[in-house]
Amino acid sequence: MNGDVFTINIVGDHNNLYLKHFWLGYDPEKHVFDSVAHEITEEGAVVMTDAKSSILCRRVQSSMPGDHEVVIAEVIGSVVHNEKVKPQMHVRKTGLNY
């Protein structure tokens, strides 16, 4: 919905376990961030406090051109939690399998 606030959390190379946490699934009865260090902003967005950095965004527009949603957002804030680490990189051999 336009106006919704969300966070893009940039995982650092020190956070290898985050990939497993989010990819392996989780109990739908529990909040996905229950076992991850985080704070909730005044706007209701989740900031992962152990991430490299976090970008606070407000949805301006979105579209569903296929099986994915494309979101256009305005950046309304950001914070660097750890300047010493590099962003985590994951490169797929193909985009055919998720």
Annotation: CATH topology of 5-80: Pnp Oxidase; Chain A (2.30.110)
Q: Which of 54, 50, 58 is nearest to 80 (CA)?
A: 54
pLDDT of residue 76: 94
Decide if 26 contacts 32 (C-beta within 8 A): yes
List the chain domain ranges.
5-80
pLDDT of residue 16: 74
Decide if 14 contacts 53 (C-beta within 8 A): no
How is residue 8 written in tokens? 């893009």
pLDDT of residue 94: 73
pLDDT of residue 1: 66
Return the DSSP state at 17: H
- How many CB atoms sit inside 10 A of residue 74's CB? 10
Q: Is 21 helix (H, G, I), strand (E, B) or coil?
A: helix
pLDDT of residue 71: 94
pLDDT < 50 positions in the chain = none
pLDDT of residue 15: 77
Model confidence, pTM? 0.78
